[in-house]
Structure 1
Amino acid sequence: MLAEILTTITAVGAAVMGGVFLAFSVMVMPALRRRPAADAIGVMQQINVAAVRPLFLAVLFGTAAASVALIVGQILDPAADAAQRLVGSALYLASVAVTIGFHVPRNNALARLDPNAAESDAAWTTFAAQWTAGNHVRALLGVAAAVTLLL
């Protein structure tokens, strides 16, 4: 019973986070790319500040904690579908690793950027391309985790 509850919590959290990341990839970043670089940088800086909220962090890292608990539980007492639970949890943890290892450093660098500086146009173009590509990866990982856990 506990494994089913953890699986459901992890699947829902992974789906929510995958959806958030997908929305950024298909709506937010394309809209920002249509704005002048100074505007886009300023908005993205504000989005990054706004994202550090308890609810967002609770879903992001609470789902990671549920993933770890699910992995430990399946190792200690494997169920018939343990492989799916292990893979789904690992996929979600990979999305968190991409967030921490790839997106956070780029967001921190963007936070230090003066939107009106001469070099900001080129910096934004590079940031937006790299950040969005990485975001596609973490969106796919989150959705794949949810689907794997729900199957």
Structure 2
Amino acid sequence: MDTTLMRTVTLATALGTGVLGGVFVGFSTFVMPGLDRLAASDAVRAMQAINVTAPRGLAVPLVVSGLGSLAVGGWAFARSSGSARALLVAGALTGVVALGVTAAYHVPRNDALGRVDAGSAAAAAAWQGYAPGWVAMNHVRAALSLASAGLLVAGAVRAG
């Protein structure tokens, strides 16, 4: 693959992971704390509504960062060298791991919360079992996404 094209893919991937990281930070710092101020039934109902629209809103950055990370990682491993290679591979791997956290942790929990009757007595227990772990792992995927963006930009700069 041409190095100009690869730099473009790398920077687009960094943009995608950076956007995701920003969204995840927003959720950790004000969306989830705001939902925690609501009654559990209202918090469950609101998060259920968010989880219906979030996949559509995040589809482009998720696809760009996922496919881009795979392309950049493979290209850097095969065609790059030195510190640029290390930065690009590390950035690609952290991007893939961030998506793995989303797929393996957040999606199943979001799906389970979607099956909760927000008006039921079980809603409070469901929210208490959902929110703390969800936020903790959201911090993880935010950090991974932002680290990926930084590493990819640094690798693109280093690669010249």
By the TM > 0.5 criterion, same fold?
yes
User: 1:98 aligns to what?
Assistant: 101
| Structure 1: distance between partners of 2:111 and 2:152 | 32
Deviates more, 1:25-34 or 1:114-123: 114-123
User: 1:82 aligns to what?
Assistant: 85
| Structure 2: distance between partners of 1:19 and 1:50 | 17
Deviates more, 1:110-119 or 1:71-80: 71-80
Letter in 2 for 1:99: T
Shift of 1:72: 1.3
| Structure 2: distance between partners of 1:150 and 1:61 | 18
| Structure 2: distance between partners of 1:75 and 1:135 | 29
**1:70 aligns to 2:69 (yes or no):** no
TM-score, normalised with respect to structure 1: 0.95
**1:121 aligns to 2:124 (yes or no):** yes
Shift of 1:76: 2.2
Q: Which has the higher contact order (CA 8 A, sep 6+)?
A: 1
Letter in 2 for 1:7: T
User: 1:14 aligns to what?
Assistant: 17
**1:109 aligns to 2:112 (yes or no):** yes
| Structure 2: distance between partners of 1:133 and 1:75 | 32
Aligned residues: 150
**Partners of 2:12 and 2:64 within 8 A in 1:** no
Unaligned residue ranges in structure 2 (runs of 5+): 155-160
Shift of 1:52: 2.4
TM-score, normalised with respect to structure 2: 0.90
| Structure 2: distance between partners of 1:147 and 1:71 | 15
Report the aligned-residue RMSD. Answer: 1.1
Letter in 2 for 1:44: M
User: 1:137 aligns to what?
Assistant: 140
How high is the sequence identity, in percent, across the aligned residues?
Answer: 39
Render the CA deviation track for 1:109-148: whole Å, top value 9, x for unaligned.
0000001111211110110111111101000000111111
Shift of 1:150: 1.8
| Structure 2: distance between partners of 1:49 and 1:122 | 21
User: 1:148 aligns to what?
Assistant: 151
| Structure 2: distance between partners of 1:44 and 1:73 | 39
Shift of 1:56: 1.7
